[in-house]
Amino acid sequence: MSNLDFSKNDSSFSSNLRFLSVLFTGFFLGIIFTKTIGREILILFTTSNLIPGIILAVIFTGAIISAIVSLKKEESRDVVLLYVNLFVVGLVFLMLPHIIEGNDMTLKLSNVLGFGIAFRVNALTLYMLIIASLLWFMVTLYSHSYMNKKEKSGGRFYFWFMVAYGGAMGAIMADSLITMFLFFEIMYISCYFLVAHSATPEAIKAGYRYIFMGVVGGLSMLLAVIILHVNTGTFDLMSMSNYIVLSSDGTGRMLLVALIFMLIGFSIKTAIFPLHFWLPGAHSSAPAPASAILSGLIIKVYVFSLIKFLYVGLGLEIVQFLRLPEFLPYLASVGMIAGSVFALRQKELKKMLAYSTVAQVGYMILGIGLSNPLGISATLFHILTHMITKSALFLCAGAMYYHTGKKDIGDYKGIACKMPVTMGIFTLAALSMIGIPGLVGFMSKWYLSIAAIDAGMPYFVIVLLISSFLNAMYYLPIIINAFLIEPEDGQTCFLRDPIPNNMLFPLVGLGIGLIFFGIFPKMVVSIFQMGITFM
Amino acid sequence: MEHNNMNIQISNHIDEHGPKGNLVLSIVIGIITLLSLFITLNVVSGNFPGLGFWLNARFGSNPYLPIIITLLPLTGLISSAVGIRNEKSRDYLNLVTNLIVYLLLLSILPTVIHQPISIRVADLLGYGLFFKVDLFGIIVAVLAALIWLLVSIYAPDYMDHETRRNRFYLFLSVTYTGILGTVLSGDLFTTFLFFEIMTFSSYLLVVHTETKEALNAGDSYIYMGIMGGLSILLGIILLFVNSGSLEYSSLAGVLKDMGNQGYFIMTLFVVGFGVKAGMVPLHIWLPKAHPVAPTPASALLSGIMVKIGAYGILRTIISFTFPSVDLSSNYELWSVSQSLGSVIIWFGIGTMGIGIFLAMQQNNIKRMLAYSTVSQMGLIIAGIGVTSYLGLKGAMGFSGALYHVINHALYKSLLFMVAGAVYLKTHTLDIREMGGLWKKMPIAFIVSTIAVLGITGMPFFNGYVSKTLVHHGIAEAHYYGEAIFKVADYLFIFFSGGTACVLFKWTYGIFFGELKDENKQITEGFKALHVPMMIIALIIIGIGFFPYFLLNTLIIPTAKIFTFDSEFIYKYIEGINIYIIKDLMGIVYVYIIGMVLFVLGIKGPLFNLRAPKWLCIEGLVTYPVKRIAHFIIDLYCRIPSKRKEKVCVAPPPKPKYDELVEHESIIHKFVEFVDKQVCKLEMPFIKSDVLLYSMLLTFVLLFFFIVK
């Protein structure tokens, strides 16, 4: 087996990995068992409002350091990145005790960039930060072997990978419109480099679509931000709704125009149905770790920001004035069905997964469009669901590509025999997409359905179920193909996948997450109940 | 390299033979099974009060027992892991696990008959799980455990020639968990959870052989199963939002207030569970899936799993649409149940007829049995319909349906076992290549005859009792209700005659007639696989000779926990005499019709009727879809004929009739159609999106400047 990557020059990575796992465990045990003196020190540190700033500083510095180190030695770069990621995870978890008591953390840097940037961390933001940092850590762990074997110029990849991380974290924490916009753009530009990384004609083409649509969306947003600022005099999300009065005079019309531009920008970036066409190409032509990040997290940052903009910035009254509840769910349901239908006979596995993302974004938009607390809570839960499920699927697809070097579904005949764990996780994730009770996907369908009926629109439940059935129609053949059709070349089977451990651990972690949150969804939902009260 | 060593290469397709069953152990376990069943039933009916008291104190006070019992079969994970190294130990482990589950279920039976055992596990899966073992659930659970235990004695001898045995046993045990969870649960949510587990794990049993035929059958099975599951889920969500509760308690008032939505919800449940029960027209997966599975799995699928569908229908109807006891005199509240029941009866009768007519045409013995299962499920569904239709007076239909669930599970699994035993010797499933085997395989012949007498309804065998009860139920339906059910009554007799005809064909084709040359070498011997067959045959005769025992100890107490008129039960069911001349004459008619049909089949064309291809359901649905799809594709592809490179494919040749129906399922056709459309429409979509957006942007900008 030539594809086992722990060769001699790789030993530093694996020994570091062992050290890292010990550190990781020790860290969490420390958090749990620090009771007395340590607790005092922790509280002193955790109540400091600087942590959001520190997180961003660490990430961006990490990006630069990784680029420098990468010039010398590629192995050390991956180790450095792992430590940086772990450190960020630690920082995020440090905020937990303070936030969970119901406090907010705010950081305003009023002199930066002329107009000042502001961050705020509350329970919901922290929830997003936690899933983002954990996913990034797992994907970084995974990408080491994948990038080594399958892609070139890792230095460039990892630099933009970390910059995108910083952009995502910043956009999650942003408290003012301009901050949000700034970090959106950072995220967007850096993601372009991830999309077009492999520089195949296909990737370049997808990258063009991605960047052009992104620029259009970004400019729409910028225009909106400027108009809003001129007419209200503030960038602040929390106080914005006080200034927005949609009357029929000049200012009112200007504000309306601004909001329309903002929504157009958001609907491009969240790939709401008719504007989704850039997504499948972009998400499928990126390297597998980047696909997992793009589909698993980046798209959700926009969804989360949309929630923030609509329900914190504007408030329910304006949302209803704009008649969003009257057309957003319909667009979403068209997206849910159309995305699944397009996915039905994609030949390439990753492309199918990307089309499935279009459908899944529809679920989240549906939850937002229902515009009741249950709907928002369902959307937030689906963010977690889709993060776990889709990144597991993409990472499994990456692992199969890593082992076989083939991309088409037809080439994966009988692959479960060779990669039982990978295909097992894939099956779990696919069943979760279909909505089998006991897995996390079922719970988000359940919450969404309850929300839809609560909003007085029970027909969306039927759309949800049709979409589930379509999911079954395109996921099950892959599984059947992998488990039950005889492979063409030989019939040797393994008990353990022929991929390195550092690719296997994230997969197993996500698989455990699929089951865990499927059985104990209340743990997450209670956070939303804490966070959504502000609306 | 060290990691290479970790990749222990195992061959997935070992062709070497597995371990055979152990005859002595099988006999011992068989005796334990029979004895414990006998003792428990005696305890339930009031004998051995000391033992009853002990069981109650020891097991009845433990509320965790339902969960333990449900999860116990998951030890199959361990035993299958053991099986990689040592297959014999795996078989023993499975046997012991199944025996323990069976004994545990029997031990809580005396407690459950007095009060249900319930336990709630809050917060799991958001809604929380709720187990509640009542008499209805545990009867089906004990039945399932009994058949499962017997099949696990039978399985090693049969699985000997199959491959991938570890996977088979693993998913067999997961399916077992699903079935136990479904019947032991106390609310619809928990039922649904385990029902879905059952659907998905039994898929692996259907496609076990991995042949093309099996995979096709598996496709039909899994897609229909998912559709059924989703329809149940929709029902659950609607019911939950409207009533706030999913527990099995009366919601008649809520359902009635919901108006049409109430009917819609109940229809969703009937359809969802009806897929599993093989209700026409949702039966099409059943005759495909049951024959291709390995015989032990067929016996369980046909014996137990279809009953879970019937259980689901009966349970949802009887708990949700029936009003509670104190409101039972309010006639208005029965309206949902009554109108639902009048439809279900006809579906049941239709299922009986179509199933038995198609069963006559089959030459594959396992498929013949599968169609016969469809027909028998029709009988059970008709019983359920009577229960629902008559409501307060429906206890007769209920008792008949429940009794028939028990009886059918017994003789159908026995018949499948016989089919497996015959297959092991003759290596064929085609009835035309068999014949004259009665001398060569005497044990199989005897137990098969007992099962045939049971299923055709011979007095002093078990089928007679339950058929008579259901027949009484239908008679009551036209006595108390509409006169039109008189027709159902006649059809019932006629289709029962059809069942007799099919089983005559079975017996005649396999055991009588001319002995083929290639079968002359067969010797049967006495092996472990004969033990469970003989046990079931014994139980069939036992029930036949003491028909009132089971009725009085288990079935009537079950009827009493639901909203049935207790006076009616006392008057008509307790102390019923089924050996009266009218009922016996009914059976005589059945046999006469059976003989006539059989002669028509042997001498005439009845067994060789082939319905035209378009008449099968897939043809009816698929062919028009395919034609329309081709029409549309033609339309698309011909008009822009100048731009050849844009056209996805040349217009496909007109498909031949047989190809359409035979080779592709409806799913594939739909996918193909969609694929073509996507291929055509993707680029235009994208272009139009860009156009749309730029137009929008221009418009907004114009607006912006004009306003400014």
Instruction: Indicate the average pLDDT of chain A.
Output: 85
Give me the mean pLDDT over the B308-322 stretch.
Answer: 91
Interface mutation target, options B267, B674, B691, B695, chain A, most CBs of A under 10 Å: B674
Query: Is the per-residue pLDDT at A533 higher than 60?
Result: no
pLDDT at residue B271 is higher than 90: yes
| Of A286 and B694, the one with more pLDDT | A286
| pLDDT classification of B656: cutoffs 50, 70, 90 | low
Instruction: Look at residue B621 in the predicted model and tell me its pLDDT.
Output: 62
The CA angle A131-A137-A143, to the nearest 5 degrees, is: 130
Q: What is the mean pLDDT of residues B596-600?
A: 88
How close does chain A come to B124, measured CA to CA in Å? 5
- Inter-chain residue contact B8 with A494, CB threshold 8 Å: yes
Name the residue among A452, A215, A174, A410 with its Cα closest to residue A307: A174
Nearest-angstrom CA–CA distance, A202 and A217: 22
Instruction: Select from B1, B125, B700 the Cβ nearest to the Cβ of A519.
Output: B125
Give the one of A275, A436, A518 whose C-beta lies nearest to B196's C-beta. Answer: A436
The answer to whether residue B680 scores a pLDDT higher than 80 is no
Could you tell me what percent of chain A has a pLDDT over 70? 90
pLDDT tens digits for range A160-198: 999 999 999 999 999 888 899 999 999 999 999 999 998
Which positions in chain B touch A281 (Cβ < 8 Å)? none
CA B290 to CA B420: how far, in whole Å? Answer: 13
CB contact under 8 A, B10 and A495: yes
Which token pair is B159?
A: 């699985």
pLDDT, averaged across chain B: 84
What pLDDT shows up at residue B660?
A: 52
Is A261–B707 a contact, with Cβ atoms under 8 angstroms apart?
Answer: no
What pLDDT shows up at residue B611? 61
- Confidence class for position B6, pLDDT limits 50, 70, 90: very low
What would you report as the CA-atom Rg of chain B, rounded to the nearest whole angstrom? 27
Check A220 against B697: CB less than 8 A apart.
yes
B223 has pLDDT over 80: yes
- Residue type for A68, please? I
Name the residue among B7, B9, B671 with its Cβ closest to that of A344.
B671
Q: Report the residue of chain B nearest A451, measured CA to CA.
A: B241
Find which of B672, B704, B707, B708 to mutate to test the A interface (most A CBs within 10 Å of its CB). B704
Nearest to B621 by CA among B224, B356, B271: B224
The tokens describing B336, both together, are 């949902």
Task: List helix spans (H) across B113-249.
Answer: 135-159, 165-184, 188-206, 212-243
To the nearest whole Å, the CA of B638 is away from the closest chain A CA by: 24
Distance from CA of B210 to the nearest CA of A (A): 6
pLDDT value of position B675: 67
Which pLDDT score, from 0 to 100, does residue B637 have? 45
Answer whether B203's CB lies under 8 Å from B289's CB: no
| Weakest mean pLDDT among A102-106, B312-316, B687-691 | B687-691
Please report, rounded to a whole number, the percentage of residues in chain A having pLDDT higher than 90: 31
Distance (Å) from the alpha carbon of A437 to chain B's nearest alpha carbon: 5
| B-interface mutation test, from A208, A221, A341, most B Cβ less than 10 A away | A341
- As given in the structure block, the two tokens for residue B335 are 């309206």
Q: What confidence score (pLDDT) does residue A12 get?
A: 60
CA distance A205 to chain B (A): 14
| pLDDT of B665 above 80 | no
Chain A closest-CA separation from residue B178 CA (Å): 12
**Cα-Cα-Cα-Cα dihedral of A480, A483, A489, A495, to 10°?**
160
pLDDT tens-digit profile of A3-56? 444 444 455 666 666 677 777 777 766 766 655 556 666 666 667 778 888 889
Nearest-Cα distance to chain B for A222, in Å, is 14
Kindly report the nearest CA distance between residue A165 and chain B, in angstroms: 30
CB contact under 8 A, B238 and A522: no
Residue A289: the pLDDT is 92
Which of B224, B271, B689 to mutate: most A Cβ within 10 Å?
B689
Distance CA A516, CA A438 (A): 9
CB B155 within 8 A of CB B527: no
Torsion angles phi and psi, residue A492, rounded to 5: -75, 140
A343–chain B nearest CA distance, Å: 9
For range A500-527, the mean pLDDT = 89
Identify which of B125, B689, B696 has the shortest CB distance to residue A437: B125
Q: pLDDT value at position A1? A: 36
ipTM for the complex shown:
0.84
Name the residue in chain A with its Cα closest to that of B666: A473
Cβ–Cβ gap A461/B222 under 8 Å: no
What confidence score (pLDDT) does residue B149 get? Answer: 94
Q: Is the pLDDT of residue B636 over 70?
A: no
Q: What is the DSSP string of B645-698?
A: GG-SSPPPPPPPHHHHHHH--HHHHHHHHHHHHHHHHHHHHHHHHHHHHHHHHH
CB–CB contact A525 B127 (8 Å): no
Q: Chain A contacts of B241, Cβ < 8 Å? A: 450, 453-454, 458
Which pLDDT band holds residue B641 (cuts at 50, 70, 90)? very low
N-term to C-term CA, chain A = 57
Q: What is the structure's pLDDT at A195?
A: 92
pLDDT value for B416: 94
Using alpha carbons, select from B474, B472, B263 the residue that is nearest to residue B385.
Answer: B474
- Residue B8 is predicted with a pLDDT of 43
Residue A174 is classified by DSSP as B
* Domain assignments of chain A as residue spans, ordered by start: 325-535
Contact A437 B192 (CB under 8 A): yes
**Dist. CA B566–CA A34, nearest whole Å:** 65
| The two three-digit tokens of residue A431, written as one number | 């069943």
Pair B178, B197: CB distance under 8 Å: yes
pLDDT digits (tens, 9 = 90+) for B7-40: 444 444 444 677 887 888 999 999 999 999 999 8
Q: Do A521 and B125 make contact, defined as CB atoms within 8 angstroms?
A: yes
> What is the distance in angstroms between the Cα of B442 and the nearest Cα belonging to chain A?
38
Residue count of chain B: 708
- Counting one residue from chain A and one from chain B, the pairs whose CB atoms sit within 8 A come to 141
Helix pair B485-511, B581-603: axis angle to 10 deg:
50
b/e for B302-333, b at 16 or more Cβ within 10 A?
bbbbbbbbbbbbbbbbbbbbbbeeeebeeeeb
Judging contacts by C-beta atoms under 8 Å, the chain B residues touching residue A274 are 689, 692-693
Nearest to A469 among B1, B227, B672 (CB): B227
Judged by average pLDDT, the poorest of A144-158, B501-515, B526-540 is: A144-158
pLDDT > 90 in chain B, percent = 37
Answer whether B147's CB lies under 8 Å from B86's CB: no
B11, B230, B672: residue with CB nearest A491: B11
Q: Do B707 and A442 touch (CB under 8 A)?
A: no
**Residue B624 banded pLDDT, cuts 50, 70, 90:** low
On whether the CB atoms of residues B163 and A417 are closer than 8 A, the answer is no
Which H or E run includes A106? strand A105-109
The chain B residue lying nearest A256, using CA atoms, is: B704
Mean pLDDT of A268-292: 88
Closest CA to A399 of A482, A518, A515: A482
pLDDT of residue B175: 95
- On chain A, the residues whose CB falls within 8 A of the CB of B200 are 431, 436
Give the nearest chain B residue to A448 (CA atoms). B237
B511 vs A234: which has the higher pLDDT: B511
Contact across the interface for A484 and B207, Cβ inside 8 Å: yes
With a cut of 60, say whether residue A201 has pLDDT above it.
yes
Determine the pLDDT at residue A8: 42
Chosen from B170, B198, B209, B678 to mutate, greatest number of chain A CBs within 10 A: B678
Residue A532, pLDDT score: 64
- From chain B, the residues in CB contact with A482 under 8 A are none
- To the nearest whole Å, the CA of A120 is away from the closest chain B CA by 30
Give the separation between CA A262 and CA A260, rounded to whole angstroms.
5
Rounded to a whole number of angstroms, the distance from the CA of A346 to the nearest CA of chain B is 8
Query: For residue B250, what pLDDT band results from cuts at 50, 70 and 90?
Result: confident
**Given an 8 Å threshold on Cβ–Cβ distance, is A220 in contact with B226?**
no
**Interface contact A342-B196, CB threshold 8 A:** no
CA A352 from centre of chain:
18
Instruction: Enter the tokens of residue B408.
Output: 């059918």
**What does the pLDDT read at residue B293?**
92
Cβ B652 vs Cβ B633: under 8 Å = yes
CB spacing of B223 vs A472 below 8 angstroms: yes
Instruction: Tell me the C-alpha distance between B363 and A245, whole Å.
Output: 78
CA distance B27 to B150: 11
Helix (H) or strand (E) holding B121: strand B117-121
pLDDT: which is higher, A81 or A252: A81
Contact A463, A452 (CB under 8 A): no
In this predicted model, which residue has the larger pLDDT, B462 or A530?
Answer: B462
Closest CA to A71 of A161, A159, A162, A155: A155
pLDDT band at B625 (very low <50, low <70, confident <90, very high): low
Q: What is the pLDDT of residues B480-495, one digit of tens each?
A: 888 888 888 899 999 9
Q: Do B7 and A473 touch (CB under 8 A)?
A: no
Question: A512: pLDDT confidence band, cut at 50, 70 and 90?
Answer: very high
Q: Is B391 left (phi over 0), alpha (psi -120 to 50) or beta?
A: left
Q: Quick check: A386 pLDDT over 90?
A: yes
pLDDT tens for each residue of B50-77: 888 888 888 877 888 999 999 999 998 8
Does position A481 have pLDDT exceeding 90, yes or no? no
Task: Report chain A residues whose CB lies below 8 A from the CB of B230.
Answer: 435, 465, 468-469
HSE, side-chain direction, 13 A CA sphere, residue A57:
6
Q: Which of B2, B7, B648 to mutate to test the interface with A (most CBs of A within 10 A)?
A: B7
Pull the structure tokens for residue B522: 């067969």
Indicate whether B594 pLDDT > 50.
yes
